[in-house]
Chain A
Amino acid sequence: MSKRIGMEIALAAAEAVALCRPDVIAAYPITPNTHIPEHLSDIVAEGRLDAEFICVESEHSAMSACAGASGTGARAFTATSSQGLLYMDEVLGIVSSMRLPVVMAIGNRAISGPINIWNDHSDIMTMRDLGWLSLFAANGQEAVDMMIQSFKIAEDAAVQLPINVNLDGFQLTHMVEALFLPDQKEVDRFLPRRKPYAALHPDHPVTMGALGMPDIFTEATKARDQALVDSRKVILKVWKEWEKQFGRRYEPIEAYKTKGADVVMMTMGSMGETAEIAVDELRKDGVPVGLLKLKLWRPFPFEEMKKAVRGVKTLIVTDRCCSLGGPGGPLAAEVRSALYAEAARPVIENALIGLGGRDVTVDDFKQMFRQAGKSKGIYEFYGVRG
Chain B
Amino acid sequence: MLEVRWHGRGGQGAVTSVELLALAAIGEGRFAQGFPSFGPERRGAPVAAFNRVDEKRIRRRCVIASPDVVVVLDESLIGLVNVTDGLKPDGVLVVNTSRTAAEIRKALNYKGRLAMVDASAIAVQELGTPITNTTMLGALIRATKVVKLASVAAPLEHRFGRIAPRNQKALQRAYEEVKIH
A binding-site residues for B, Cβ under 8 Å: 4-6, 8, 31-32, 117-119, 139, 170-171, 174-178, 270-271, 273-274, 276-277, 357, 359-362
- B61: interface (CB < 8 Å): yes
**CA of A190 to CA of B60 in the docked complex: distance in angstroms?**
31
Excluding A171-B38, A178-B57, 14 further A-B contacts by CB distance (< 8 Å) are A6-B26, A6-B27, A170-B39, A171-B61, A176-B32, A176-B35, A177-B26, A177-B31, A273-B59, A273-B60, A274-B62, A277-B60, A357-B39, A362-B60
Is B58 engaged at the interface, CB distance under 8 Å to the other chain? yes
Instruction: Please give, as numbers and ranges, the residues of chain B lying within 8 Å of A357 by CB-CB distance.
Output: 38-39
Stretch at the interface among B3-11, B15-23, B112-120, B127-135: B15-23
A65 to B29: give the CA distance in the assembly, Å: 42
Contacts of A170 in B (CB 8 A): 35, 38-39
A residues less than 8 Å from B25 (CB atoms): 6
Min distance, Cβ B55 to any Cβ of chain A, angstroms: 12
Q: Is B38 a contact partner of A6 (Cβ separation < 8 A)?
A: no
Verify A6–B60 contact, CB threshold 8 A.
Answer: no
Residue of B nearest to A273 (CB): B59
Instruction: Pick the contact of A176: B23, B39, B62, B65 (CB < 8 A).
Output: B23
Instruction: Establish whether residues A178 and B61, one from each chain, have CB atoms under 8 Å apart when the complex forms.
Output: no
Q: Quick check: is B34 within 8 A (CB to CB) of the other chain?
A: yes
Asked whether B63 is an interface residue with its Cβ less than 8 Å from the other chain, the reply is yes
Taking the closest CB of chain A, its distance from the CB of B56, in whole angstroms, is: 11
Residues in B lying within 8 Å of A, measured CB to CB: 18-19, 22-23, 25-27, 29, 31-36, 38-40, 57-63, 65, 155
- Assess whether B61 is in contact with A270, with CB atoms less than 8 Å apart: yes
In the bound complex, residues from chain B placing their C-beta under 8 Å from that of A273 are 59-61
Residues of B within 8 A of A360 (CB): 62
For A170, give the chain B residue with the smallest CB separation. Answer: B38
Residue of B nearest to A178 (CB): B26
Q: Which residues of A contact B35 (CB under 8 A)?
A: 170, 174-176
Is the Cβ of B62 less than 8 Å from the Cβ of A361? yes
Question: Could you name 21 residue pairs across A and B whose Cβ atoms are closer than 8 Å?
Answer: A6-B25, A31-B40, A119-B38, A139-B59, A171-B61, A176-B18, A177-B22, A177-B31, A177-B33, A177-B34, A177-B58, A271-B61, A273-B60, A276-B59, A277-B59, A277-B60, A357-B38, A357-B39, A359-B62, A362-B60, A362-B62
Q: How far is the CB of B86 from chain A (nearest CB, A)?
A: 13
**B45 shortest CB reach to chain A, Å:** 15
A117: chain B residues within 8 A (beta carbon): 39-40
A-B contact count (CB 8 A): 73
A174 touching B36, Cβ below 8 Å: yes
Q: A117-B39, A118-B38 are in contact. Are A6 and B22 (CB under 8 A)?
A: yes
| Residue of chain A at shortest CB distance from B27 | A6
Q: Are B31 and A274 in contact (CB under 8 A)?
A: no
A269 to B99, CA, bound (A): 46
Name the A residues within 8 Å of B58 (CB-CB): 177
Q: In the complex the two chains form, is A177's CB within 8 Å of B62's CB?
A: no
**Bound CA span A270–B61, Å:** 7
A237 CB → nearest B CB, Å: 28
Q: Is the CB of B26 within 8 A of A4?
A: yes
Q: Which residues of B sit under 8 angstroms from A31, Cβ to Cβ?
A: 40
Most chain B CB neighbours (cut-off 10 Å) among A171, A174, A271: A174
User: Among the listed B31, B39, B155, which residue makes an inter-chain contact with A178, where contact means beta carbons less than 8 Å apart?
Assistant: B31
**Bound complex: CA A273 to CA B60 (Å):** 6
Which residues from A are CB-within-8-Å of B65?
361
* Distance in angstroms between the alpha carbons of A211 and B38 in the assembled complex: 45
Cα A171 to Cα B61 with chains together (Å): 7
Q: Which of A8, A31, A117, A118 has the most CB of B within 10 A?
A: A8
Pairwise interchain contact A176-B22, C-beta atoms closer than 8 A:
yes
Q: Which of B29, B58, B63 has the most CB of A within 10 A?
A: B58
Chain B residues whose C-beta falls within 8 Å of the C-beta of A4 in the assembled complex: 26, 29
Contact, CB under 8 Å: B34 / A175: yes
The 10 closest A-B pairs by CB, nearest first: A6-B26, A176-B34, A170-B38, A273-B59, A6-B23, A361-B62, A178-B26, A176-B22, A175-B35, A359-B63
Distance (Å) between the CB of A81 and the closest chain B CB?
A: 13
List residues of chain B with CB within 8 A of the CB of A8: 19
Chain B: which residue is nearest A361 at the CB level?
B62
A177-B22, A270-B61, A362-B60 given as contacts; is B32 within 8 A of A6 (CB)?
yes
Residues of chain B contacted by A271 (CB below 8 angstroms): 61
With A6-B23, A6-B26, A6-B27 already in contact, the answer to whether A178 and B59 are too (CB < 8 A) is no
- Listed residue (B19, B59, B61, B63) with the most chain A CB atoms within 10 angstroms of its CB: B61
Would you give the shortest CB distance from A172 to chain B, in whole angstroms? 8
Using Cβ atoms and an 8 Å threshold, which residues of chain B touch A178?
26, 31-32, 57
Bound CA–CA A52/B25 (angstroms):
36
**Smallest CB-CB separation from A363: which chain B residue?**
B62
Partner of A174, one of B22, B23, B26, B38: B38
Q: How far is the CA of A362 from the CA of B39 in the complex (A)?
A: 22
